[in-house]
Structure 1
Amino acid sequence: MGAADAVPGVSGGTIAFMTGIYEELIYSLKQCGPSALKILFSQGLKAAWQHINGTFLLSLFTGVLVSILTISRGVLFLLAEYPVLLWSFFFGLILAAVWSLIRHIPNWNIGLVCTFVIGTVSAYFITIISPTTIESTPLIVFLSGMIAICAMILPGISGSFLLLLLGMYAPMLMAVKELQFITLGIFALGCVLGLLSFSHVLSWMFKHYKNLTLALLGGFMLGSLNKVWPWKHTLETVINRHGKEIPLVQENVFPHTFESLTQQTSYLWFSLGLMILGLALVIVLEKIGQKSN
């Protein structure tokens, strides 16, 4: 999940759903509220730890942190040096994840189909919005934390991509690099509040409208495929803090068009192979998740 969340366009929530831990994650996060504090003071630390499923959350977020510090660096390197191949792998991964999710819906009806379409169209339009630039005031930083963390636990919607759209991706990376503790603290506070509140919403949706929720999340993932299409033509660029030109606005093109426009190889057969690898990985992860459950 940490490696996925580092890439603008890929959601850690997608990985959670593929591995069969998504509903447990949402339920455990929902438990981290006033009820946990009440149990802590009345019954002690052990009871509160069990109430919030602490061992599960500790294992998960330790993995996320380790990934951000290690694996995500490799992912970001590949994104910079071999973007076509990396996006191909993620495309196959997410495409298979859509099938993995919607196959849990036993009986489709017109309402579920409409919900799936709404999710697809919504995610698609999010991916084509042009990034903006806003002043990083404390309020904006706080709201950005709330929005980004909510997206990170939604399959198909990338929190880092929403930060990019809000114009807060670069400022937050700069805050991490320069150890701007006040900015990071405000952002973290927004993340905590957003995570605790939104997890209640998702938990309620799964409890009362599980099939509709699955259809909506499946649509989100399908619509997000527009963002991870491997062959892109860059229309606008910006200069990052290292003085390097990076893409800002891109359009999807066919492999042969990509070669003619960019004068770069499309890696077509390698890309198709990586898509298939992504598809196969989802099947393996799902088998592991089912076995663990």
Structure 2
Amino acid sequence: MGFILNAVRGFCMAVADSVPGVSGGTIAFLMGFYDEFINSLDGLFLGNKEEKKKAIVFLVKLGIGWVIGLCLSISILTTLFASHIYVVSSVFLGLTVCAIPIVIREEKDSVAGHYKHIIFLILGIAAVVLIAMGNPASGGEGLHLNLSSLTFGNGIYIFLVGMLAISAMVLPGISGSTMLLIFGLYMPVTGAIKDVLSGDFSNIKILICLALGIITGILAIIRLVKFCLKRFRPQTIYFIIGLMIGSLYAIVKGPETLDIPQDAMTISTFHIPGFIFGIVILLVFELVKIKKERS
């Protein structure tokens, strides 16, 4: 049961990172395993032998679902996102709206009586909104790169963007795919992944540079997040809730970041059944989590 649950968690994280405006970190927080996720990543790179072993077991289970979700997103679900983006976005709106009060309830010791830290909530909202406004379709200039020939400078650039993208994926809020889009790497990276999946390794250097940046970003951001959760939990929780609230705006604007941009979600394109379905999904996971904790 634990293996299946973690694989499903990983699958949902990968699908979320593929949807414009949604972060895998948001899903981890929604489903109640964010601390375990952060501690496992930290333990994998910086823990002792026992911590590494425990982290590997957890991350392998999570990773299997994540890889399946990524492959499906790149090869199959991309078409679904393009043709039914408002339904998909409505589902994630339901997930997020339902999750915010759940997070506040579960973190009541960090929230109640610490209202002076509301500034961190405002900062979290502002961070996501500003990043979401930076995508080319929202009026930002963005970048358009031609990586047909990978130079040393482009390699460094991809490395640095990889660091930023993994930070976005880990933190609840903006999606890593949106960060890649803003910095002009969404199409080159997804194209390189599609090539590799089809057996063409001509652009694998792009993915190697990105992977090195991701690993470096994990080493930096995970240690920082773990430290903040341990030493400054009320401030960090307020900031994370702010990121989640801000992600509502990012999800609404998400359709603008598709390969073929569509209008941002409006009342007329909002899909009520999808929204309700998102709420139901989260409540089911909440019930499974409660059952697991009691067993």
Residues 129 and 48 of structure 1, relative CA distance in 2, 3 Å threshold: closer
Q: Deviations over 1:123-152 (max 9, x none)?
A: 112111233115460111001111111111
Query: Of residues 169, 182, 185 in structure 1, which corresponds to 2:208?
Result: 185
Determine the structure 2 residue equivalent to 1:133. Answer: 143
Aligned CA distance change for structure 1 residues 167 and 188 (closer, same or farther; 3 Å): same
Q: Is the 8 A contact 1:105 1:211 kept in 2?
A: no
Quote how far apart the aligned CAs of 1:10 are.
Answer: 0.9
1:289 is paired with a residue whose SS is: helix
Counterpart secondary structure, 1:187: helix
Shift of 1:73: 4.5
The code of the aligned residue for 2:89 comes to: W
In the other structure, the counterpart of 1:43 is none
2:192 aligned with 1:198, yes or no?
A: no
Q: Work out which of the residue numbers 159, 163, 167 in structure 1 matches 2:180.
A: 163
Whole-Å separation in 1 of the counterparts to 2:174 and 2:274: 22
Q: Partners in 1 of 2:118 and 2:43 — Cα distance?
A: 32
Compare the two structures and name the one with the higher helix fraction: 2
Aligned 8 A contact 1:84 1:231 in 2: no
The answer to whether residue 250 in structure 2 is matched with residue 247 in structure 1 is: no
Q: For residue 71 of structure 1, report the CA deviation from its aligned partner.
A: 5.6
The question of 1:76 aligning with 2:78 is answered: yes
Structure whose CA Rg is larger = 1
* Runs of 5+ unmatched residues, structure 1: 40-46, 241-245, 256-265
One-letter amino acid matched to 2:213:
G
C-alpha distance in 2 between matches for 1:105 and 1:171: 43
Report the Cα offset of residue 251 of structure 1: 4.7
Q: Give the SS at the match of 1:288.
A: helix
Aligned mates of 1:30, 1:164 — CA distance in 2 = 27
Deviation track 1:180-211 (CA, whole Å, cap 9, x = no partner) reads 12221111011111112211111111111112
Aligned mate of 1:29, from 41, 44, 47 = 41
TM-fit CA distance, 1:77: 2.2
Report Cα offsets for 1:69-102 as digits up to 9, x if no partner.
Answer: 2366553222111122111111111111222222
Which moves more between the two structures, 95-104 or 182-191? 95-104
Structure having the higher strand fraction is 1
How much has 1:109 moved relative to structure 2? 3.2
Q: CA RMSD in A?
A: 2.4
Q: How many residues align?
A: 260
Is 1:64 aligned to residue 66 of structure 2? Answer: yes
Q: What is the CA-CA distance between 1:292 and the residue it aligns to?
A: 2.7
Identity of aligned residues (%): 30
Give the CA deviation at 1:68: 1.3
